Amino acid sequence: MRKHSGLNYTMLCDFYELTMGNGYLKAGIGDRITYFDLFFRTIPDNGGYAVAAGLEQAIDYIENLHFTEEDIAYLRGRGLFCEEFLNYLRNFRFTGDIWSVPEGTPVFPREPILIVRAPAIQAQLIETFLLLTINHQTLIATKASRISRVADGRAVLEFGSRRAQGADAAILGARAAYIGGCLGTACTISDQLYGVNAAGTMAHSWVQMFPSQYEAFRTYCEVYPNNVVLLVDTYDTLRSGIPDAIRAFNDVLKPKGIKKCGIRLDSGDLTYLTKRARAMLDEAGWTECRITCSNSLDEYLIKDLLQQGAKIDSFGVGERLITSRSSPVFDGVYKLCAVEEDGEIVPRIKISENVTKVTNPHYKKLYRFYDRDSGMAQADYITLWNETVDDTREITIYDPDATWKQKTMTNFIARPLLVPIFKGGKLVYEKPALEDIQKYCRDQLATLWPELLRLENPHIYYVDLSDSLLKIKNDLLNARN
C-alpha cells in the first residue's frame, strides 16, 4: 500500500519548539529525559466518547524525521540559532519511546492517549505534528462514528472532499471517517493510498449533458449496468426523475436480468420523496432498487429522517462530516508531566485558575475496567507507571466531574490500553490494516453502554486516578499554594 507522503514534515512545527530546543541545548538540558502526555479535555458535540485516530501518520512522521541542508540554511538565516544546535539538527533522529492507544479505541477526556518519553529537544519538536494528526483524525473518526451509529445499519459514505479544508484534510479525513464507521468515500486518492473504497454515481451535469433525462439515464445504464445509481432530482423528482429511471431500468437492465440498481436524491423533502419513490419503484417491480440520499446531512438530520419513516438505504454525508461542522475543533493538548533527574522520575504539573487546565503529573499507565460477566466497559483508571491493578479486590472509582459520585468496582477485569509504539527510536508496533482498525473500533464501541452512546445528554464515563497518583497530584498542588 502506498503512503500519503512526499513532503518532509520535520519543519512542520511551531517555531517556538525550535527556539526552546536551542535554549535547552545552551542551558545544558537538551538531553534530559522528559515525559509528555497527549490528551484532550472535551468531547466534540458534547458526546459521550471520542474515537482515537491518526496514529499511523504519527508513526510515519517519526520514522522520517530529518533536517535537510536547506532546512539548516533557512534556520541559520534567521540569526537565532547557535551552530551547535544547527549541527545537532543536522544529525537529528528520534531516539525515544512512545506508547499509544490503538487507533479505533474509544477514549475520554483527561486520560493519556499517547505518551512520549524522549530527550527534551526531541520530545518538544514533535509536539505540533502529533497534535495535528491525532486531533484532526480523532475529530473526524468521532463524527463518523456518531453518524454511522444513527444510520442504524445503513451504509454511510463520506462525500466531503470538495468541502474539506485542504488536500490532507480530504485524504486523511476519508481515512478517519472509515475508522469511525463509514463504508467508503467519494475521494479516489484515499482508496488508492489507504484502501478506503471509493464509490460514486453521477453529478447533475451528467443529466444536463444529454438532450433528455431519459437518454442520460439510459446511457449510464448501458455503460455501467452492474453499478447503476441514477441521480433523479435534476429536474422534477416525482414527475420525471423516477419515471425516467424506471424506464431506463426496464429498457436496459431488465433484458440483462439485472435487478440490483439504485437512485440518489440530493434535494427536497427527503422523507416525503423517498416514501413516494419507494412506492413507485416497488409498483414497477424494482423492489431491489436502493435509495441513497445526500444533501448536507449529519447525525441529527439522519435520525430525524429515519424517525419520520424515510425509505433510505444509504447516506452520502459531506461537509458536515469532513469538517465536523457542528464541533470543528478537537482540543487535544501535549503537556510535560515528568522529567528524569539522576535516574529518578520527578513529576511535573501545570496549574491554572481554570480547573480543566490543571494537568495530571507523572509517568502513567492507563487501564480500562471491563465487567467480567457482561464484558462491558465500566471505567478507566490512570495509575503510576510502576503500579499494577489487582482486579481481585474492590476499587472505588469517582466521577471526574462530581467527586461525590462514586461506584465500587468488584467483578471486573483490568486491561492496559497503552501499547508500545517506539522503543529507543525503533518501531516495535505492527501497524494493522485499515479494515482491522475499523473492526476493532466497532468491537470496542460495542463494549460501551447505550446510555453513553446516545447523541443527547450521554452518561459521563468514569475516568479516575489511582490513590498513589492522586496523592502526588495533591502534594504538588499544595506545594504551590
Q: What is the pLDDT of residues 324-374, one digit of tens each?
A: 999 999 999 999 999 999 999 999 999 988 888 999 999 999 999 999 999
pLDDT in tens, 183-217: 999 999 999 999 999 998 899 999 999 999 999 99
* pLDDT tens-digit series, residues 247-306: 999 999 999 999 999 999 999 999 999 999 999 999 999 999 999 999 999 999 999 999
- Hey, what's the cell of 466? 489511582
pLDDT for position 2: 45
Write down the residue that cell numbers 482508496 correspond to. 191
Handedness of CA 192, 193, 197, 198 (dihedral sign): negative
pLDDT for the residue numbered 403:
63
CA 186 to each of CA 70, 140, 202, 226, 271: distance values in angstroms, whole numbers, following the listed order: 37, 15, 11, 18, 24
Grid cell listed for 390: 489487582
Average pLDDT over residues 452-465: 95
Amino acid 356: pLDDT: 87
What domains lie within the chain, and their CATH numbers? Answer: 9-140+328-480 (3.20.140.10), 201-316 (3.20.20.70)
Banded model confidence at residue 11, pLDDT cuts 50, 70, 90: very high
Per-residue pLDDT at 402 exceeds 80: no
Task: Provide the phi-psi class of 470: left if phi over 0, else alpha when psi is between -120 and 50, else beta.
Answer: alpha
Q: Is 4 a residue whose pLDDT tops 90?
A: no
- The pLDDT value recorded for residue 406 is 82
Supply the pLDDT for residue 404.
66
The separation between CA 328 and the C-alpha centre of its own chain, rounded to angstroms, equals 12
Q: Is 1 buried (19+), middle (13-18) or exposed (0-12) by CB count in 10 A?
A: exposed
Residue identified by cell 517556538 is 16
From the list 317, 327, 248, 304, the residue with the least C-alpha distance to 281 is 248
Tell me 44's DSSP state: G
> Which stretches within 110-166 are classed as H helix?
120-125, 127-150
Give the per-residue pLDDT at 97.
98
pLDDT digits (tens, 9 = 90+) for 221-232: 999 999 999 999
The CA distance from 308 to 58, in Å, is 43
Instruction: Say whether 273 sits in a helix, a strand or coil.
Output: helix
Q: What is the pLDDT of residue 7?
A: 73
Place of cell 526552546: 20
Q: 221 and 263 in contact (C-beta within 8 Å)?
A: no
Average pLDDT for 313-324 = 97
What is the pLDDT, as a whole number, of residue 252?
98
Residue 85's CB is within 10 A of a number of other CB atoms, namely: 21
Kindly provide the b/e burial profile for residues 100-117, where b requires at least 16 CB atoms within 10 angstroms of the residue's own CB.
Answer: bbbbbbbbbbbbbbbbbb
Contact status, residue 412 vs residue 396, Cβ threshold 8 Å: no
Q: Mean pLDDT, the chain, as a whole number?
A: 95
Q: Is the pLDDT of residue 451 over 80?
A: yes
Residue 1: pLDDT band with limits 50, 70, 90:
very low
Q: What is the Cα–Cα distance from 187 to 172, expressed in whole angstroms?
A: 10
Per-residue pLDDT reduced to its tens digit, 78-97:
999 999 999 999 999 999 99
Distance CA 67, CA 244 (A): 60
Per the model's pLDDT, the better-predicted residue between 159 and 5 turns out to be 159
Rounded to 5°, angle at Cα 268 from 264 and 274: 50
**What is the per-residue pLDDT for 201?**
86
- Going across the sheet that includes 332-341, the strands are 344-347, 332-341, 33-40, 114-119, 97-100, 419-423, 426-427
Please give the DSSP secondary-structure letter assigned to residue 194.
H
pLDDT in tens, 439-448: 999 999 999 9
Return d(Cα 129, Cα 112) in angstroms, integer.
17
